[in-house]
């Protein structure tokens, strides 16, 4: 069995402008993948390094093609735009990586409804809607994949009992 490579494949990643999403994008780029990024970080954040544009530069430097798409997985139109632009640019989608996430470690009784809704909208609805929008194109791929990331499940009472 030969070595597997992502060369020539197209990956659409949500929330890939920094952190683990960017690390996945850079590894895929090193294999020669086309990487489309759907992320909100159009301008620098005062406390967090990186934007969708700096991530695209790093992906290109690592050997991949990059398509930065400014958008939010909470907005159906942004998801549709990301899928459409990815297919128009690269001819299809071979994998979707659901990396966009929101977390609030407030205790359950202290967590506001607004923060709870944000976590559900990004982590659950955004993941579902991006997958749903991409599936018709994934069906055309010879080797389609969906990877959805989430915080590690830790059943320790320190975490499970204290946080939503």
| pTM, 2 dp | 0.91
Whole-number pLDDT of residue 152: 61
Contact present, 99 and 15 (Cβ < 8 Å)? yes
Q: State how far the Cα of 93 lies from the Cα of 9, in Å rounded to an integer.
A: 8
- Given pLDDT bands bounded at 50, 70 and 90, which one contains residue 159? low
**Residue 80 maps to a domain:** yes
**Residue 18 maps to a domain:** yes
pLDDT at 154 over 70: no
**Residue 2 maps to a domain:** no
**What domain count does the chain have?**
1
Q: State how far the Cα of 65 lies from the Cα of 81, in Å rounded to an integer.
A: 18
DSSP β-bridge partners for residue 36: 12, 67
**Residue 29 maps to a domain:** yes
pLDDT at 158 over 80: no
Query: What are the pLDDT digits (tens) for 96-118?
Result: 999 999 988 888 889 999 999 99
Its domain, for residue 53, covers 10-160
Contact present, 98 and 147 (Cβ < 8 Å)? yes
CATH of the domain at 81: 3.40.50.720
**Residue 4 maps to a domain:** no
Q: State how far the Cα of 39 lies from the Cα of 164, in Å rounded to an integer.
A: 25
């Amino acid at each position: 069995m030969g070595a597997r490579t992502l060369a020539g494949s197209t990956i659409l990643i949500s929330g890939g402008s920094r952190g683990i999403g960017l690390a996945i994008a850079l590894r895929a780029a090193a294999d020669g993948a086309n990487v489309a990024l759907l992320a909100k970080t159009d301008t620098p954040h005062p406390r967090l390094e990186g934007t969708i544009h700096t991530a695209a530069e790093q992906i290109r430097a690592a050997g991949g093609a990059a398509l930065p798409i400014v958008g939010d997985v909470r907005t159906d139109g942004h998801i549709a735009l990301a899928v459409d632009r990815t297919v128009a640019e690269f001819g299809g989608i071979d994998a979707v990586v659901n990396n966009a996430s929101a977390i609030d470690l407030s205790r359950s009784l202290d967590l506001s409804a607004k923060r709870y809704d944000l976590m559900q909208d990004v982590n659950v609805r955004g993941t579902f809607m991006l997958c749903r929008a991409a599936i018709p194109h994934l069906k055309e791929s010879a080797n389609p994949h969906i990877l959805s990331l989430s915080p590690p499940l830790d059943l320790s009472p320190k975490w499970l009992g204290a946080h939503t």
